[in-house]
A and B are shown apart, each in its own frame.
Chain A
Amino acid sequence: MTVNDVVIVGGGVGGISTASALRTGGFLGRITLVDAGEHPYDRPPLSKDYLSGKKGLADIALQPLAWYDAQSIELRSNSTATAILPAAGVVELATGERIKADRVVFATGGEAARLTVPGADLDAVHVLRSADDARRLRQALLPGARILVVGAGLIGAEVASTALRLGAEVTLVDPLASPLSAAIGPVAADWLHSVHAAKGIRTLQTGITGFQQTAGGIETVLGGTLESFDAVVLGVGMKPNTAIAEAAGLQVDRGVVVDAGQTTSNPAVLAVGDPTRRRVNGSVAKRSEHWEAAQLDGARAAATILGSPLPAETVSWFWTDRHGMHVEAIGSLPCATTTVVRGTLGEPPFALFGLKDGQIVGAVAVDDSNVVRAARRMVDRRTPVDPGKLADPTSDLRKLLRG
Chain B
Amino acid sequence: MSDGILVAKLDDIPEGEGIALDKSVTGTVDNIALLRDEDGSVWALDDTCTHETASLANGWVEDGHVECPMHASKFCLKNGEVQGLPATKNTCPHRVEVRDGDVWLYPNEAP
Chain A: residues with CB nearer than 8 A to chain B?
A: 13, 16-17, 42, 44, 49, 61-64, 67, 291-292, 295, 317, 319, 321, 326, 369-370, 373-374, 396, 398
Considering the complex, give the chain A residue whose CB is closest to the CB of B67: A373
Which residue in B15, B16, B69 is a CB contact (below 8 Å) of A369? B69
Chain B: residues with CB nearer than 8 A to chain A?
A: 14-17, 52, 58-60, 67, 69-72, 84-86, 88
Interface contact A295-B60, CB-CB below 8 Å: no
Q: Provide the bound-state CA to CA distance between A326 and B59, in Å.
A: 13
Contacts of B60 in A (CB 8 A): 369-370, 373-374
- B70 → A minimal CB distance (Å): 6
Which residue in A44, A373, A398 is a CB contact (below 8 Å) of B86? A44
A-B contact pairs, 27 of them (CB 8 A): A13-B85, A16-B85, A42-B85, A44-B71, A44-B86, A62-B85, A62-B88, A63-B88, A64-B88, A67-B88, A291-B86, A295-B84, A295-B85, A319-B70, A319-B71, A326-B69, A369-B69, A369-B70, A370-B58, A370-B59, A370-B60, A370-B69, A373-B60, A373-B67, A373-B72, A398-B14, A398-B15
Q: Provide the bound-state CA to CA distance between A42 and B52, in Å.
A: 13
Q: Provide the bound-state CA to CA distance between A17 and B14, in Å.
A: 33
Contacts of B84 in A (CB 8 A): 295
Interface contact A396-B70, CB-CB below 8 Å: no
Q: Provide the bound-state CA to CA distance between A326 and B49, in Å.
A: 15
Interface contact A292-B69, CB-CB below 8 Å: no
- A386 → B minimal CB distance (Å): 19
Contacts of B72 in A (CB 8 A): 292, 317, 373
- Highest count of chain A CB atoms <10 Å: which of B59, B70, B71, B88: B71
Q: Provide the bound-state CA to CA distance between A61 and B51, in Å.
A: 11
- B13 → A minimal CB distance (Å): 13
Contacts of A317 in B (CB 8 A): 72
Interface contact A326-B70, CB-CB below 8 Å: yes
Which residue in B14, B59, B69, B71 is a CB contact (below 8 Å) of A396? B14
Interface contact A17-B86, CB-CB below 8 Å: no
Considering the complex, give the chain B residue whose CB is closest to the CB of A374: B60
Contacts of B67 in A (CB 8 A): 373
- A307 → B minimal CB distance (Å): 23
